[in-house]
Amino acid sequence: MSSVFNSNTASDDGLGLQRVVRHGLITMVVAIIILSGSALWTVIQLTGFYQNEVNIVAEQERLLHAMRVVAKERTLLMYAMITEEDPFLKDDQRMAFYSAGTKFAIARIELLKTPLIDNEKYLLEKQGKETGLMRSHQDQVLDLVLEDNEESAIATLRRAVSGQQRVMKILDQLNVSVDSRYKEITTKADTVGQASIVILFTIVIIIIAGAVYIIRQTTHRASSLISQLFEARVDLQNANDELMQQQDTLDHHAIVSIADRFGNITYINEKFCEISGYSRDELIGRNHRILKSEEHSTEFYQDLWQTISQGNVWQGEICNRRKDGTHYWVESTISPFVDKTGKPYKYVSIRTDITHLLDAKIEAEKANHAKSVFLSSMSHELRTPMNAVLGFSQLLEAQLEGEQLESVKTITNAGKHLMVLIDEVLDLSQIESEHLDLAFESVDVETLVNECLEWVGNSAHTKNIILQQKISAPSDMCVIADRTRLKQAILNYLSNAIKYTQQNGKVVVRVKPSDTNMCRIIVEDTGPGLNQEQCSIVFNPFTRLDEHINATSGTGIGLAITKRIIEMMKGKVGVDSEVGKGSEFWLEVPVISEKN
């Protein structure tokens, strides 16, 4: 990129050098013509004599002097306006420029009122024409200044200054004419001869000045061009070194290949040979079909080729075949390089070997499936004897008294707790093995919440805990959910809230619509609360945050099941808590319609 930029710069400088030479020659020719013509007219006019009286001549000199001063002032003001950045000062300079123009016009009118010889009238007329031409350039300069186009303004100003020089020359001639009227010209021949010398000298000076200017500009441009070419060479070398380092890094990490528009391999890196088992000579010139395995359908390859042949990037996983016939998987990105017509002329492929990752994933899925099958089997196997234990313990409770009754109750409570654990493990295994079926239906949220509150009423009453509900959603709001499983999730939240809330506490159930067409159900308690780290893991399976600080019973599975069930119903769960201020466990499920 840097070399291209500098090449363009060098080309522009070459064109700039030609423009300098061309403009220099044109300026020199125009200057010779203007000065020669002015000198000739001056020679002719010098044959006259001043006829005006001393006081008239003095007034004419004063007016000419005023016009010269004003003309120079206008040129300086134009320069100042181009370089001035302050818009207020620039506006003041523009007003001063117009004011100076008015002064120049008034002095010229006053000069025309005085007696002038024909030559002086002619010069004033010529000055008027030149001033008119110069004013158009000056107006262009002012417009460019307003547009902040400094470069064009300076170029136009040069033309205006050239006209200004002609005007000043004419004013000089007028001054000479006024002065000359005090003298007598001895002979017309002497005057013409002297004028010829002046013209010749002026031409020589202009030629020398033009040549010096062109030589200086050419030397400066050539020096600048050489310097830029040297910088371009250095930048190109640095860019090439950096590109080589990037390619080396890529070769160490990825499998890289380049193919022509027909899919024939034109370049491969060492990692490509290492993974595929082929040598470089065996692959260069061969089509990529040499690596084709039988893992993908014909439609897969057709879709791939259609994508890249249309100039689009293709990304995906491909199974390739090694030289020894074994397969390996790669994460591949194929990027087409297109020409000016938009048609690909080569394809660059970058791949990453993911064979080991896929193997590990398959092994993990097998292990997870085996675990789920084991848990499901064990849960069923444990349920039968536990039902027998609970049945006999309940029979014994009706026949025993005293310490024996308390012992049997302990057996019963432990058995019930174990049955809850078995049920939850069974639910978790069914979820993880994707065997848990949900029956979606329209569920009235308010009715369901009331049922849940009635269900846990006795537990709350035992601890003197106040139960409240605050529903800010429409009373007939319905959601799409499995009613039994949604009730299980809410009861899980309520049971935990009552379990961890101290005596005389409070548990509140809030229902409100969220901003995403969901219904949010919040269970708020006045328990000990959780810190940020605990909030981040509380929905993980078998997580007991309180097991080291109190003896509150629990399995650590309930919240994990709640999370999985709600997510299966296209909802989400969360917790907001602060230590010492209680917790808010919430869930969201989709709203579908109103009952009516």
The DSSP secondary structure of 460-479, one letter per residue, reads HHHTT-EEEEEE-S-TTEEE
Reported as a single tens digit per residue, the pLDDT across 562-589 is 898 899 899 999 999 999 889 999 999 9
Superfamily of domain 440-594: Histidine kinase-like ATPase, C-terminal domain (3.30.565.10)
Q: Position 98: which residue type?
A: Y
The region that residue 254 occupies, defined by phi over 0 for left and psi between -120 and 50 for alpha, beta otherwise, is: beta
Is the separation of the CB atoms in 39 and 195 below 8 Å? Answer: yes
Average model confidence (pLDDT) across the chain? 78
Is the separation of the CB atoms in 476 and 515 below 8 Å? Answer: no
State the CATH class of domain 49-184. mainly alpha
Distance CA 400, CA 398 (A): 6
pLDDT at 594 over 90: no
CB atoms within 10 A of CB 315: 10
- Burial (CB < 10 A; 0-12, 13-18, 19+), residue 127, is buried
CB atoms within 10 A of CB 209: 13
Structure tokens at 168: 């000043």
User: Which residues 6+ apart lie within 8 Å of 383 measured at CB?
Assistant: 419, 422
Of residues 44 and 256, more confidence is placed in: 256
Is the separation of the CB atoms in 84 and 93 below 8 Å? Answer: yes
Structure tokens at 62: 């004063």
Is the separation of the CB atoms in 268 and 280 below 8 Å? Answer: yes
Maximum mean pLDDT: which of 2-6, 535-539, 586-590: 586-590
Is the separation of the CB atoms in 326 and 348 below 8 Å? Answer: no
Is the separation of the CB atoms in 524 and 510 below 8 Å? Answer: yes
Pick the CATH number of 254-353 from 2.170.270.10, 3.30.450.20, 3.90.420.10, 3.30.160.270: 3.30.450.20
Is the separation of the CB atoms in 424 and 465 below 8 Å? Answer: no
Sequence spans of domains, the chain: 1-47+188-252, 49-184, 254-353, 360-432, 440-594
pLDDT at 551 over 50: no
Can you give the pLDDT at residue 522? 93
Maximum mean pLDDT: which of 121-135, 171-185, 186-200, 305-319: 305-319
pTM score of the predicted model: 0.41
Range from 212-221, 259-268, 452-461, 549-558 carrying the lowest mean pLDDT: 549-558
Mean pLDDT over 152-164 rounds to 73
Pick the CATH number of 360-432 from 1.10.287.130, 3.40.630.10, 1.10.287.610, 3.30.70.1450: 1.10.287.130
Can you give the pLDDT at residue 583? 93
Is the separation of the CB atoms in 493 and 587 below 8 Å? Answer: yes
pLDDT at 595 over 50: no
Give CA 523 to chain center in angstroms: 43
